[in-house]
């Protein structure tokens, strides 16, 4: 175990201690005891900052399943460091916030912190793993812990629905991702991400390369709520607000972004990667921002806002991958700016979205509702909350001097740059990028204003609220205040981040673009002259304000996008269809009738035998060595066939039994003719006993239905039966006509007397050469007799009348 491993394990260790710590809840809120875990992790990674900045990489490996190439390998570079700081930093703030949000006496906080720590550890594992399989393991652990957290209030139907939905969608993506990883392993022979990147030239032309890329992207898109897999995120808002703030805005939904960034060095040169990542991001961006406009629930609004911002970051990562297409030329650094913007916005979004969720949580906690139609005029009552909300939304809308402004400007720069790309048909399609980006920014601006003004200004309508609103306690305000001040600090001094975090992260995403020792130069300036981006921002603000003014009159904004077909209906309908389809299918063939099941079995037997006989090159039947038939044998065969064929036509039970007995005695006669004296003896005795038993039993049967009526003819049964008969005849003929090798019986005939001292070869085989068969056959017989005895003695319910059916 190395220190890095220990750090990943720390939340798990704390999670194990949760039930123990929970016992102290009378004295102290469990959250305070949990708080040291994320703080320690945060401090540890903060200390590592200078090392990583100077280009050092921390690695450590603990063997797990070395024979399969699966080792718990961890790797800390700029990208991982950025994510670990987000996870632990916001984690610490969320834990603190939750201490005031969740009542220690009313809620099962022990369970809550256990799940939360489980999630934190899993998330750290995802971003630090170098081994794809280990990464996948942690990835699914985040899905599971997220599932548990969404359904924290499991008494509510909607919580369970949301949890199930998110579970199904993210696990579907996770499994796709696993297959992508397996394909990568098939191509490269290693699970280590660094080794795959080192051997990148070997796999780019491989036929499995594109399938692997698509499968991995499916995993990333489902986890990061990209269109059309975003539908789970709004329903995940049933979780407690600290969970929404932590998982569904700052960390888990960024796991997909992390995956895209982490695997960019492998796939980025592929045009499909560029189009899929940036295209999906753009669609998600505009769709999410448009849908956010229509929401009346604050958390739903933030959920769609998160979806749209994730789309923005995703598209930036896609645009940044253009650099790999230009790899080796001076132009590549031009496109790297998109990656820089993406990372910067990723940090910014985690900060302001975390703060906004906490604000919404406070509003919910202090007023009892999150519906903007009921809220209003809270500014004077909750001044601190209002200030935080104002900073957060300004940052989200992209207003100066907050950090969101800078990343939005850089986003515009990136989409404008991409127009100048002269490959991949960009002259035409490239035009859409700035247009979509601009329109989406207007939507973002409008819903940001709506969010803050509908809640905090306007009419006071406190009579509609469940509680009398008042300012939140200090401890609850502290975490969002920290985040809001970070938004301001990073807005005014962006280079604090640029040199420390963004440059190493870019180096991790574009390792091939740099010579050794070289570094990216991320220089973010708050004022960059009267450029096109500034005009675009001014346009956003102007149009946004107009739209906000007209908001009430624009009916389009209040109606659902498509009332008929929505993605949620498709999902629900799909699940329903799957459920009913499966039930219908099962009901159709699982009829409960033995006859049907036997028919399936026999039809399968006939078909498989027919196909096999048809396929295998069969030599014509060879009748030359067949023995001649004498008149005795002809008579026996005739009697056998006659009695057998008569069985189905028998009108009484007795007749059917006797006819079957006749067939048995004819078989005995065959054994006599074919020189098998032991068989003949046994068969005769067995047949006699069976027939006696049959007759005895049926003689004593209650006469419910007097005798069985003669069998009705059924064509399907007959066809199947005939098919089996024909197949068996063909089998018997082909088996006896050609012999590929000599029998081993010569040995028994020769050695029966020498080795075993017996002259009856069959008996010698039974008790000497193959005595084990006989032993177990005796066991079978004894089990049967015990079983029969038990059945006869068994009386399950005494004195009850037999149940009459039908």
Partner 1 sequence: MELYMSLAIGVLFTVGVYLVLSKSLLRIILGTSLLTHGVHLLLLTMSRLKTGAAPLLGQGAESYVDPLPQALILTSIVISFGVTSFFFVLAYKAYQKLGTDDMEQLRGKEDE
Range 453-482, binding partner 1 (CB under 8 A): none
Q: Which residues of 687-710 are buried (b: 16+ CB within 10 A; e: fewer)?
A: beeebeebeeeeeeeeeeeeeeee
Structural tokens at position 591 = 């009829």
Handedness of CA 706, 710, 712, 718 (dihedral sign): positive
Contact between 742 and partner 1 (CB under 8 A)? no
Q: Which of 289, 305, 660, 662 binds partner 1 (CB under 8 A)?
A: 660
Helix (H, G, I), strand (E, B) or coil at 755: helix
Binding mask 603-632 for partner 1 (x = CB under 8 A): --------------------x-xxxxx---
Contact between 577 and partner 1 (CB under 8 A)? no
- Identify which range of 110-118, 155-163, 257-265, 643-651 contacts partner 1 by CB under 8 A: 643-651
User: Which are the contacts of 639, defined by CB distance < 8 A and separation ≥ 6?
Assistant: 662, 666
Cβ distance to partner 1 smaller for residue 197 or 599 = 599
Contact between 715 and partner 1 (CB under 8 A)? no
Contact between 733 and partner 1 (CB under 8 A)? yes
388 close to 355: Cβ distance less than 8 angstroms = yes
Contact between 532 and partner 1 (CB under 8 A)? no
Contact between 670 and partner 1 (CB under 8 A)? yes
User: Which are the contacts of 518, defined by CB distance < 8 A and separation ≥ 6?
Assistant: none
Burial of 543 (0-12, 13-18, 19+ CB in 10 A): middle
Q: Which of 743, 755, 798, 799 binds partner 1 (CB under 8 A)?
A: 743
Contact between 515 and partner 1 (CB under 8 A)? no
Contact between 550 and partner 1 (CB under 8 A)? no
Q: Which of 33, 114, 363, 761 binds partner 1 (CB under 8 A)?
A: 761
Cβ distance to partner 1 smaller for residue 43 or 601 = 601
CA gap 597, 386 in Å, rounded = 70
Ranges within 766-795 binding partner 1 (CB under 8 A): 766, 770, 773-774, 777, 780-781, 783-785, 787-788, 791-792, 794
Helix (H, G, I), strand (E, B) or coil at 63: strand
Q: Phi-psi category of 456—alpha, beta or left, where left has phi over 0 and alpha has psi -120 to 50?
A: alpha
Contact between 804 and partner 1 (CB under 8 A)? yes
CB 481, min distance to partner 1, A: 57
Contact between 751 and partner 1 (CB under 8 A)? no
Q: Which of 575, 726, 738, 755 binds partner 1 (CB under 8 A)?
A: 726
Cβ distance to partner 1 smaller for residue 557 or 679 = 679
Contact between 752 and partner 1 (CB under 8 A)? yes
Q: Which of 562, 759, 798, 799 binds partner 1 (CB under 8 A)?
A: 759
Ranges within 682-701 binding partner 1 (CB under 8 A): 682-683, 686, 689-690, 693-694, 697-698, 701
213 close to 270: Cβ distance less than 8 angstroms = yes
CA Rg value for the chain? 38
Query: Total residues at the site for partner 1 (CB under 8 A)?
Result: 103
Contact between 594 and partner 1 (CB under 8 A)? yes
Distances (CA, A) of 658 to 249, 655, 695: 81, 5, 9
Cβ distance to partner 1 smaller for residue 457 or 774 = 774
Q: Which of 645, 651, 738, 755 binds partner 1 (CB under 8 A)?
A: 645
User: Which are the contacts of 509, defined by CB distance < 8 A and separation ≥ 6?
Assistant: 79, 261, 262, 264, 265, 317, 320, 339, 343
CB 161, min distance to partner 1, A: 25
Q: Which of 24, 68, 271, 731 binds partner 1 (CB under 8 A)?
A: 731
The single residue listed with the structure tokens 């397996």 is: 182
According to DSSP, residue 114 is labeled H
384 close to 477: Cβ distance less than 8 angstroms = yes
Cβ distance to partner 1 smaller for residue 515 or 627 = 627
**Cα distance between the two ends of the chain:** 70
Cβ distance to partner 1 smaller for residue 585 or 693 = 693
Cβ distance to partner 1 smaller for residue 297 or 633 = 633
Ranges within 214-273 binding partner 1 (CB under 8 A): none
- Identify which range of 7-15, 191-199, 204-212, 640-648 contacts partner 1 by CB under 8 A: 640-648
| Neighbouring C-alpha atoms within 13 Å toward the C-beta of 38 | 26
Q: Which of 373, 470, 651, 714 binds partner 1 (CB under 8 A)?
A: 714
Ranges within 82-101 binding partner 1 (CB under 8 A): none
Contact between 602 and partner 1 (CB under 8 A)? yes
Cβ distance to partner 1 smaller for residue 199 or 737 = 737
491 close to 403: Cβ distance less than 8 angstroms = yes
Contact between 589 and partner 1 (CB under 8 A)? no
Cβ distance to partner 1 smaller for residue 46 or 676 = 676
Q: Where would I find the H helices in 68-188?
A: 78-101, 109-128, 132-150, 157-188
Q: Which of 158, 595, 618, 651 binds partner 1 (CB under 8 A)?
A: 595
CB 584, min distance to partner 1, A: 16
CA gap 608, 731 in Å, rounded = 13
CA gap 789, 781 in Å, rounded = 12
User: Which are the contacts of 580, defined by CB distance < 8 A and separation ≥ 6?
Assistant: none
Phi, psi of 14 (to 5 degrees): -65, -40
Contact between 664 and partner 1 (CB under 8 A)? yes
């Amino acid at each position: 175990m190395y220190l890095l491993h220990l750090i990943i394990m720390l939340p798990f260790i704390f999670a194990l201690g949760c039930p123990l710590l929970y016992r102290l809840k009378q004295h102290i809120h469990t959250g305070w005891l949990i708080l040291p875990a994320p703080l320690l992790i945060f401090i540890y990674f903060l200390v590592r900052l200078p090392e990583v900045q100077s280009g050092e990489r921390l690695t450590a490996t603990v063997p797990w399943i070395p024979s399969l190439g699966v080792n718990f390998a961890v790797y800390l570079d700029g990208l991982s460091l950025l994510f670990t700081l987000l996870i632990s930093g916001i984690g610490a703030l969320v834990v603190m916030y939750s201490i005031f949000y969740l009542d220690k006496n009313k809620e099962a906080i022990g369970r809550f912190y256990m799940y939360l720590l489980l999630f934190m550890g899993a998330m750290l594992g995802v971003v630090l793993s170098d081994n794809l399989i280990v990464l996948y393991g942690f990835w699914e652990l985040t899905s599971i812990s997220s599932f548990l957290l969404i359904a924290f209030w499991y008494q509510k139907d909607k919580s369970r629905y949301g949890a199930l939905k998110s579970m199904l969608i993210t696990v579907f993506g996770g499994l796709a991702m696993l297959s992508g990883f397996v394909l990568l392993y098939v191509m490269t022979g290693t699970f280590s991400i660094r080794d795959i990147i080192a051997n990148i030239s070997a796999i780019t032309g491989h036929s499995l390369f594109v399938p692997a890329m698509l499968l991995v992207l499916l995993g990333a898109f489902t986890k990061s709520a990209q269109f059309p897999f975003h539908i789970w995120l709004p329903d995940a808002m049933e979780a407690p607000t600290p969970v929404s703030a932590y998982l569904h805005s700052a960390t888990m939904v960024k796991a997909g972004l992390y995956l895209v960034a982490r695997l960019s060095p492998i796939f980025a040169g592929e045009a499909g990667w560029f189009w899929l990542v940036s295209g999906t991001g753009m669609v998600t961006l505009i769709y999410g921002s448009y849908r956010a406009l229509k929401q009346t629930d604050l958390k739903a609004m933030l959920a769609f806002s998160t979806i749209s911002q994730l789309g923005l970051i995703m598209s930036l990562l896609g645009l940044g991958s253009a650099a790999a297409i230009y790899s080796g030329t001076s132009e590549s650094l031009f496109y790297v700016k998109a990656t820089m913007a993406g990372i910067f916005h990723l940090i910014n979004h985690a900060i302001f979205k975390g703060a906004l969720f906490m604000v919404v949580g406070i509003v919910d906690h202090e007023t009892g509702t999150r519906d903007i139609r009921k809220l209003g005029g809270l500014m004077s009552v909750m001044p601190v909350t209002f200030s935080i909300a104002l900073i957060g939304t300004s940052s989200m809308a992209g207003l100066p001097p907050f950090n969101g402004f800078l990343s939005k400007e850089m986003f515009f720069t990136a989409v404008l740059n991409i127009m100048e790309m002269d490959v991949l048909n960009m002259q035409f399609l490239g035009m859409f990028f700035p247009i979509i980006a601009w329109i989406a920014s207007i939507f973002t601006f409008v819903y940001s204003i709506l969010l803050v003004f509908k809640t905090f200004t306007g009419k006071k309508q406190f009579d509609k609220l469940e509680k009398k609103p008042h300012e939140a306690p200090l401890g609850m305000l502290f975490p969002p205040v920290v985040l809001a001040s970070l938004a301001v600090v990073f807005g005014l001094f962006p280079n604090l981040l640029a040199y420390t975090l963004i440059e190493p992260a870019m180096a991790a995403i574009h390792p091939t673009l740099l010579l050794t020792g070289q570094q990216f130069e991320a220089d973010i300036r708050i004022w960059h002259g009267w450029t096109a981006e500034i005009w675009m921002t001014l346009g956003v603000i102007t149009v946004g304000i107009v739209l906000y003014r007209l908001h009430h009159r624009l009916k389009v904004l209040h109606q659902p996008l498509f009332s008929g077909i929505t993605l949620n209906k498709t999902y629900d309908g799909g699940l329903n269809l799957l459920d009913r389809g499966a039930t219908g299918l099962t009901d159709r063939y699982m009829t409960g009738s033995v006859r049907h099941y036997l028919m399936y079995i026999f039809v399968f037997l006939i078909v498989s035998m027919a196909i096999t006989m048809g396929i295998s090159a069969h030599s014509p039947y060879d009748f030359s060595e067949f023995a001649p038939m004498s008149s005795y044998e002809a008579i026996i065969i005739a009697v056998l066939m006659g009695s057998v064929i008569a069985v189905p036509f028998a009108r009484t039970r007795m007749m059917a039994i006797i006819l079957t007995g006749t067939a048995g005695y004819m078989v005995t006669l065959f054994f006599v003719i074919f020189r098998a004296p032991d068989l003949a003896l046994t068969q005769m005795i067995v047949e006699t006993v069976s027939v006696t038993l049959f007759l005895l039993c049926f003689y004593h049967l209650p006469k419910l239905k007097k005798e069985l009526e003669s069998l009705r003819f059924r064509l399907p049964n007959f066809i199947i039966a005939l098919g089996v008969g024909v197949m068996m005849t063909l089998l018997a003929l082909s088996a006896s006509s050609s012999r590929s090798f000599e029998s081993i019986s010569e040995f028994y005939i020769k050695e029966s007397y020498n080795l075993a001292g017996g002259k009856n070869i069959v008996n010698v085989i039974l008790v000497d050469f193959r005595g084990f068969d006989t032993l177990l056959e005796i066991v079978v017989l004894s089990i049967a007799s015990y079983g029969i005895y038990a059945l006869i003695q068994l009386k399950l319910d005494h004195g009850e009348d037999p149940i009459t059916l039908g």
